[in-house]
């Protein structure tokens, strides 16, 4: 049996929502980062599934790019977290509200 694209989409949606809720609920910056990775993965999954359903290889190409960008983002993001931690000794996002209006 070929699992139809809808199931993959549903799984991706579930992963995405979990990631998003985690992002909103957790205050640890690292965990928030991981939630972002979750959401990215969910989106990647939809791209792969949709590509397959539409017989289009470009879905996978897009995923490839997203992976690269995600890697770059993690590198810089973690570097920033480390830099902040060195100054503030905290990994809580709520401590970082300098840009308050």
Partner 1 sequence: MVEGILFVLMAVTALAGAVTVVVARNPVYSAMGLLGTLFSVAVLYVAQLAHFVAAVQVIVYAGAVMTLFLFVIMFIGVDTSDDRDERLPMQRFWVGILAGVIVLLAAGITLSGNFDWVPAAVETIPEATNGTIQAIAEPLFTDWVLAFEATALLLTISAAGAIALAHFKGQRT
Partner 2 sequence: MTDFLWLIIALPLAGAVLLHFLGRFVGEPLSGWLASLASTSAFVFALVAAWPFIQGGEHSTTVLLWEWMPAIGANLELLWDPLAALMVLVVTGVGSLIHFFAIGYMHGDDRFDRFFTSLNLFMASMLTLVLAGNYAMLFLGWELVGLSSYLLIGFWFTRPSAAAAAKKAFVVNRIGDFGFMIALMLVFASFGTLSYAGIFERADEVLGVGMATAIGLLMLVGAAGKSAQVPLYVWLPDAMEGPTPVSALIHAATMVTAGVYLIARSSAIFEIAPIASTTVATVGAITALWAATIALAQRDIKKVLAYSTISQLGYMFLAVGAGAYVAGVFHLMTHAFFKALLFLGAGSVIHAMSDEQDMHKMGGLLKKMPTTAITMGVGTLAIAGIPPLAGFWSKDEILGSVFARGGWFSALWIVGLVTALITAFYMARQWVLVFLGEPRWSQDTSPHEAPRVMTIPLIILAGLSVVGGLLNTPFALRLERFLEPSFEYVTLQNPPEGLAMFAVLAGLSVMASLVGGGFGYVSYNRPKQRWLDFEDGFEPLWGTWEQAYRVDDLYGAAIVAPGKKAAEVAAFGVDLAIIDGAVNGVGSAVRRLGELARSLQTGYVRNYGVLFLGGALVIVIWLVVGR
Q: Catalog residues that contact partner 2 under the rule CB under 8 A.
A: 20, 23-25, 27, 32, 93-94, 96-101
Sign, CA dihedral 91-93-95-98, equals positive
Query: Binding partner of residue 43 among partner 1, partner 2, none, CB under 5 to 8 Å per kind?
Result: none
Q: Which does 91 bind (CB under 5 to 8 A by kind): partner 2, partner 1, none?
A: partner 1
- Least separation in angstroms between CB 18 and partner 2: 13
Nearer to partner 2, 57 or 76 (CB): 76
């Amino acid at each position: 049996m070929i699992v139809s694209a809808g199931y993959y989409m549903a799984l991706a949606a579930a992963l995405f929502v979990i990631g998003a809720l985690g992002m909103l609920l957790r205050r640890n910056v690292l965990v928030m980062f991981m939630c972002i990775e979750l959401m990215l993965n969910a989106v990647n999954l939809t791209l792969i599934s949709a590509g397959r359903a539409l017989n289009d290889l470009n879905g996978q190409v897009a995923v490839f790019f997203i992976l690269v960008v995600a890697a770059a983002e993690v590198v810089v993001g973690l570097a920033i977290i480390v830099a902040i931690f060195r100054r503030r000794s905290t990994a809580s996002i709520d401590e970082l509200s300098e840009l308050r209006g």
